[in-house]
Amino acid sequence: MKKISLLGATGSIGLQTIDILEQHPEAFQLVAFSSGRNMDVTRSILTKLTPELVSVISAEDAQTLQAEFPHVTFTYGNEGLVEVATHPASTVLVNAVLGSVGLESTLAAIRMGKTIAIANKETLVTAGHLVMAEAKKYNAPILPVDSEHSALFQSMNGENTKRIERLILTASGGSFRDKTRDELVGVTVKDALNHPNWSMGAKITIDSATMMNKGLEVIEAHVLFDMPYDKVDVLLHRESIIHSMVEYSDTSVMAQLGSPDMRVPIQYALSYPDRLPIQHAQRLNLAQIGQLHFEEVNFERYKALQLAYDAGRAGGTMLTAMNAANEAAVALFLNEQITFLQIEELIERVMHTHNNVQLPDLATILAVDSETRKIVQGMVK
Ligand code: NDP
Ligand code: MG
C-alpha cells in the first residue's frame, strides 16, 4: 500500500489522480491533499476519500471546512502546502499544483526522501538544478507525470542511458496549429482554450497554444534526463498518439504509444515499476486511426519554443525569469488584459533585459520570480 500526499487535488491532474486512487484502494491511500480556492470540489473529494490533513489557500476556508469535517485536520497557505508535502505518513508526493508555487514544498518532501511524482513542470524549469541535486543527495526518486516525459522514461526501461543519441518530444501544436502567424492577431481566450486533443487546466492549454508548454517540456527533459539541449528535439505530431521517443546509438527508436489520457502517465508514476488496469481508458486502435502525421517545427511560427531553448541554453536565473514572465503573461491574457501575441513579446522583453545569475540558490530564485512578475505588470501598465 502506497501512502500518498497530493498537491493541487482540485485541478485537472489532481482530479485525475483522485480517480486513479479511487480505482485502486488496495494499492493507494490518500493521506493528505491541498487545494486552492475551489471549495465545492474540495468538499466533493472529502465525501469520497478520508485524508488526515487538507490544506487550502485561505485561513477562512480552512476554518469553514474544519466545522464541516471535524475528523480531518485543516491548514492553509504556503506552510500548509509544506505540511501536506511532508506529511509523515506519506511516502509519495504527487505535485499537481500550478506554477512555481510548488517549489518549496517539493524541496521539503525531497529532503525527507519521499518519491516525487511530478506533474508541476514549472518547478523543474525554475529550479531544476536545485531539485535534482537535492533528490540525489536525499535519494528521492523523481518520477515524471507529464505524458512526454513518462513516454521517455518508459522508452528507457532496461536501457543503457549512456547510449541515448537524442530525445524526441512530440507536440500536437495546440489549438492554433492550423493558423499562420498573421492569423494569430486577434485570437480570443475562448479560441485558445479549445485544445484539439487534451482536456487540461487553463494555463497549460494556453501554453500549448503558444508552444511554451513544449518549451517548458524541453527544459524539463534536459533536467530530468540530464541531456544537453542539442539532443532534445521537438517533432509536430498532430494525433498525440506517440507520446515521445528515444533514439539510441544503433539508430533504434523506442516510443510509447496510447490514446491521449493523462491518467495513464499519472498511474504509471504511482504504480511504477508495476502496471495496473485503468477503468474507462480507451485502448489504442491503430487500424481505426489509420495514419499518423509528423512535421518539423517552424521556430519562427512558434517563437515561444525558441525563447525556451534560449533560456535553457543560458541557464541560471534566465530560466526563472522566463518561466515567471510566462506565468504572469498567461494570467494577463486569461484576464483579457493583453493579446495572445503579447505573451511571447513580454517574455522576450523580460529575457532581453534580465541580468543572468548562474547556479542561483533558492532565495535568489524566489526573488527573481517575484521581481519578474512585477516587471511584467509594469510593462503592461
Ligand atoms: P489546474 O489549473 O487545473 O489545477 C491547478 C491546481 O493547483 C488546483 O488544485 C488549484 O487549486 C491549485 N492552485 C493554483 N494556484 C495555487 C496557489 N497559488 N496555491 C495553492 N494551490 C494552487 O492545473 P493542471 O492540473 O492543468 O496543471 C497542474 C500542473 O501539471 C501544471 O504544472 C501543468 O503544467 C502540469 N501538467 C498538466 C497536464 C494536464 O493535462 N492538465 C499535463 C501535463 C502537465 P483550485 O483550483 O482549488 O484553486
Ligand atoms: Mg506534456
Ligand 1 binding pocket includes 57 (Cβ within 6 Å):
yes
For cell 490518500, the residue is 30
Nearest Cα residue to atom 36 of ligand 1: 119
Residue 372 assigned to a binding site: no
- Over 90: is that where the pLDDT of 32 sits? yes
Q: Structure pTM?
A: 0.98
Using an 8 Å Cβ cutoff, are 12 and 256 in contact?
Answer: no
User: Helix (H, G, I), strand (E, B), or coil: what is residue 139?
Assistant: coil
Ligand 1 binding pocket includes 264 (Cβ within 6 Å):
no
The pLDDT of residue 198: 85
In testing the pocket of ligand 1, which one of 98, 124, 220, 323 has its CB within 8 Å of the most ligand atoms?
A: 98
DSSP state of 71: T
Q: Domain 2-144 falls in which CATH fold?
A: Rossmann fold (3.40.50)
Give 195's pLDDT tier (boundaries 50, 70, 90).
confident
Using an 8 Å Cβ cutoff, are 200 and 187 in contact?
Answer: no
User: Helix (H, G, I), strand (E, B), or coil: what is residue 198?
Assistant: coil
Give 100's pLDDT tier (boundaries 50, 70, 90).
confident
Residue 36 assigned to a binding site: yes
Give 69's pLDDT tier (boundaries 50, 70, 90).
very high
Ligand 1 binding pocket includes 173 (Cβ within 6 Å):
no
Neighbours of ion ligand 2 (CB under 5 A): 146-148
Ligand 2 geometric centre to CA of 148 (Å)? 5
Using an 8 Å Cβ cutoff, are 150 and 257 in contact?
Answer: no
- Over 90: is that where the pLDDT of 196 sits? no
Ligand 1 geometric centre to CA of 97 (Å)? 4
- Domain chopping of the chain, boundaries: 2-144, 149-261+270-301, 315-381
315-381 maps to CATH 1.10.1740.10 = yes
Q: For the residues 254-267, what does the mean pLDDT come to?
A: 98
